[in-house]
Amino acid sequence: MDEKVLEEIQFHQETLSRDANSPLHLIREKEMEISGRVLSAKKQAEDIVAEARKKATTTLAKAEEASKTLAHEQEKRVLEELEKETAQIKIDAGAEIDGLRSTVADRQASAVDFVVKTVTEV
């Protein structure tokens, strides 16, 4: 049994056997009343702290879930940007290759003439 409960039982037994109006008895009675209030306040504070911890845990879980969602969305946006950039680079490279092929085709005749001229002059 709780020590406080035993103390209260003993106090009430003593009260029955003594004068209930003595100053010491009245002081003791007030002590018991205050002790009960303190225990009640302590219990209430513990309940408040427990509830706050539950809310904090819930809030933390929600924040973690929201951060995962935001990170996933950001990753998706970055990948889409990279895909667009990659596609543009391929288009640009294709255009540059076509330009180089055109230049090679234009200069091929001159190159052949140069090689033939160099070989025949020796």
Query: Phi then psi for 21, rounded to 5 degrees?
Result: -100, 5
Return d(Cα 82, Cα 121) in angstroms, integer: 55
Q: What is the pLDDT of residues 51-105, one digit of tens each?
A: 999 999 999 999 999 999 999 999 999 999 999 999 999 999 999 999 999 898 8
Return d(Cα 117, Cα 11) in angstroms, integer: 128
What would the two tokens of residue 49 be? 């702290």
Our separate counts of H helices and E strands in the chain read: 2, 0
In whole angstroms, how large is the CA radius of gyration of the chain?
Answer: 46
Q: What is the pLDDT of residues 1-14, one digit of tens each?
A: 567 767 777 766 66
